[in-house]
Structure 1
Amino acid sequence: MTSSRLPAGAMEAVLLSLLATTGGPVAATEPATDDTTVTVSASGKRFVTVLGYSVQDRPIKAFFRGDPNGPNQVVVLGQMHGDERAGVRTARWLQRHVDVNRDSGVWIIPTMNPDGFAANTRQNAKGVDLNRNWPTNGWKDSGYGTCCWGGPRPASAPEVRAMRGFLKEIRPDYIASIHQPYGVIASNGKDVAYEKRLTQRLGLPRTEVSVRAVPKREEPQDKGETIAPTLTSWYNDVRPGTSVTIEYVRRPNTHFVRVKAGRGLLRSMRAFQR
């Protein structure tokens, strides 16, 4: 697929910038098997860094595996809504078991809503639905106090600003944004082949998914069209890479969440070491 890949060596500079901005690799709150320094293994570099902080000052962590200068950079986002928890389990499994091919770099972000995860709430600590707060022409300020309030202004949430800045720097070729509970691959039509690979690997049907509290569904963005204020719609509009929203079922089994989804996502994004 066509991508605005950074020149050779430039990704190293981006990584150094990220590490400098956040004070370098940081200790994780997960078990001691998580990285606290940059290391090199047979499958490439491994480290954890902080992308930013939540309303309640919790870190938003990204775990990197692979080649930072590889032609295929991908992101697995385990959670945006704090009460949709299965994707976090997928991300944590990938942290420990991922085998990345030599051409890829994999960024694993268990949650971009650590406050919501801690409180088991959809929204962040200020009641903002992080998947309605992205700066598109479909953002709305209505719905305060509801499940899907988009916040007082576009990108008002620090979590969204952190993720937006990260994605603009890394420019991933593929993003997998995991949600629940509809059990589908949310088709947007930007890269149908990627969607079909996800369907094949995860066993979930492709279908259009309406976005509550916005006037249009997530779909290919034509100029003048209303663009949903979601991560996927925003990214698909501003970058040549592709984001797809993946909806697990409400209660997926352990094998699906870990092995099937973990390997299936990386295979779908051309990043799995065979």
Structure 2
Amino acid sequence: MKHIDSSIHQTYLLILCFFLFMTGCQRFQTTIIPEEKVFKAPCLKTVSPAVQYHIIGSSVENRAIGYLVLGEGQDVIFIIASIHGNETAGTPLVLLLAQYLQDHYDLLEGRKLVILPVANPDGMFNNSRYNANGIDLNRNFPTRNRINSPRFGRAAFSEPETRIIDLLIQQYDPDRIVSLHEPLACVDYDGPGETLAEHMAECCNLSVKKLGARPGSLGSYTGETLGIPTITLELTEHAKQFDSEYLWELYGEALISAVIYPDIVELYTFPRERHDESGEEVFFNNSDSQKAFENEAVTPSK
């Protein structure tokens, strides 16, 4: 079994190697980022004129936050990765999704995909769930069940990262949202997202599981408050141990299905399991992850 590079500084970080060289395509004012704050990250294999790259703002520690836009249709999909900085497996997945859709651009006919590859760059840099202020960004949204606290923020949208997410939501008005997390190995949903969750679960080896809306979470805000079908795609607890190609084999079809929903993916069949050197199957035992979810104080999730 291949392993992802253990160094945080070498993992799947924001693709600023594109953003810093793109000119004339920003809809928002570009933030000037010192060189030491720029993540060095693998770029997409090719650059297509059909892909727009924007830097929308910066984090608490002034790391750039960038996003991608593919397609020009009216059906808008917003995909977010790494809002928890220690749950980074979603970042290579969404970059591979962008690469795949560059090569299969017909799938975006009538659609627009907005991708936020790294929602919490400071947390990713520090291998921390929280942002540089120690705030859980996925508890910092305005919801009925919101709790103001030192860990969740003294007020909703107290953090620049969550304000940026909301700015993108207001700007693009998505028809559905997918946020990638670890490690609960299921497809969760908020708001009117059950059908979409079932649609995605058919394309991967994860089951639909209603985990419940957490206080001030993105799902509570977009799903329950705004009424946007919102999916929390919880990858397996082993996700960061897999190379990006295998992550794509496991979850790529599910991401494509979210983009082309309600159309059906009939492109290829992915393998659904892998074994370690001893022949023992790895990936599907998520009982420890479920226990962690039930006791969020031990291992926070979602």
Task: Tell me, yes or no, whether TM beats 0.5.
Answer: yes
Residue of structure 1 equivalent to 2:202: 200
Partner of 1:105: 112
State the aligned residue count: 229
Q: Determine the C-alpha separation between the residues in 2 that align with 1:28 and 1:65.
A: 22
Q: Distance in 2 between matches of 1:23 and 1:52?
A: 7
The aligned residue for residue 123 of structure 1 is 130
Task: Indicate conservation of the 8 Å contact 2:119/2:161, yes or no.
Answer: yes
Compared CA separation, residues 56 and 28, structure 1 to 2 (3 A): closer
2:76 pairs with one of 73, 76, 79: 73
SS at match of 2:257: helix
CA distance in 1, matches of 2:27, 2:193: 34
Change in CA separation of 1:31 and 1:182 when aligned onto 2, cut-off 3 Å:
closer
Q: CA deviation at 1:273?
A: 9.8
The answer to whether structure 1 residue 230 and structure 2 residue 212 are counterparts is no
Match of 1:5 in 2: none
Aligned to 1:251: 238
Unaligned runs of 5+ in 1: 1-16, 210-216, 219-226
Structure 1 pair 153/185, CA: closer, same or farther in 2 (3 Å)? same
Mark the CA change 1:35 to 1:48 in structure 2 (over 3 Å): closer, same or farther.
Answer: farther
2-structure distance, mates of 1:241, 1:110: 20
Tell me how far 1:31 sits from its aligned partner.
3.8
Structure 2 vs 1, CA of residues 85 and 94 (structure 1 numbering), >3 Å: closer, same or farther? same
Residue 114 of structure 1: how far off its partner (Å): 0.2
How far apart, CA to CA, are the structure 2 residues paired with 1:23 and 1:95?
22
One of 55, 60, 64 as aligned partner of 2:60:
55
- The aligned residue for residue 93 of structure 1 is 96
Contact 2:143-2:225 within 8 A present in 1 as well: no
Q: Which moved more, 1:195-204 or 1:248-257?
A: 248-257
- Deviation of 1:22 after TM superposition, in Å, equals 2.4
Q: How far does residue 202 in structure 1 lie from its aligned partner after superposition?
A: 2.0
Superposed CA offset, 1:119-157 (max 9, x none): 000000000000000011222123x3xxxx211211101
One-letter amino acid of the structure 2 residue matched with residue 234 of structure 1: Y
Deviation at 1:189, TM superposition (A): 5.4
CA–CA distance in structure 2, aligned partners of residues 170 and 35 of structure 1: 25
In structure 2, the residue corresponding to 1:21 is in which secondary structure?
Answer: coil
Task: Please tell me whether the aligned partners of residues 56 and 66 of structure 2 are also in contact (alpha carbons under 8 angstroms).
Answer: yes
> Which residue number corresponds to residue 242 of structure 1?
229
User: Contact 1:90 / 1:262 at 8 angstroms: preserved in 2?
Assistant: yes
Distance, in Å, in 2 between the alignment partners of 1:199 and 1:235 is 21
Change (3 A) 1:173 1:35: farther
Q: Aligned-pair distance for 1:265?
A: 1.1
Taking the aligned partners of 1:30 and 1:163, their CA distance within structure 2 comes to 22
Native 8 Å contact 1:185 1:199 kept in 2: yes
Residues 18 and 51, structure 1, Cα contact 8 Å, conserved in 2 = no
How far 1:64 sits from its partner (Å)? Answer: 1.4
Identity over aligned pairs, percent: 23
> What 5-or-longer segments of structure 2 have no aligned partner?
1-23, 268-302
Q: 1:41-66 deviations in whole A, cap 9, x for unaligned?
A: xxxx2121022210001111111112
Query: Could you say what secondary structure the match of 2:178 adopts?
Result: strand
Moved more, 87-96 or 175-184: 87-96
Runs of 4 or more off by more than 4 Å in structure 1?
Answer: 26-29, 32-36, 271-274
Quick one: which amino acid aligns to residue 63 of structure 2?
Answer: R
In the TM superposition, residue 183 of structure 1 has moved relative to its aligned partner by: 0.4
Alignment check: 8 A CA contact 1:171 1:239 kept: no
CA distance in 2, matches of 1:35, 1:155: 36
TM-fit CA distance, 1:18: 8.6
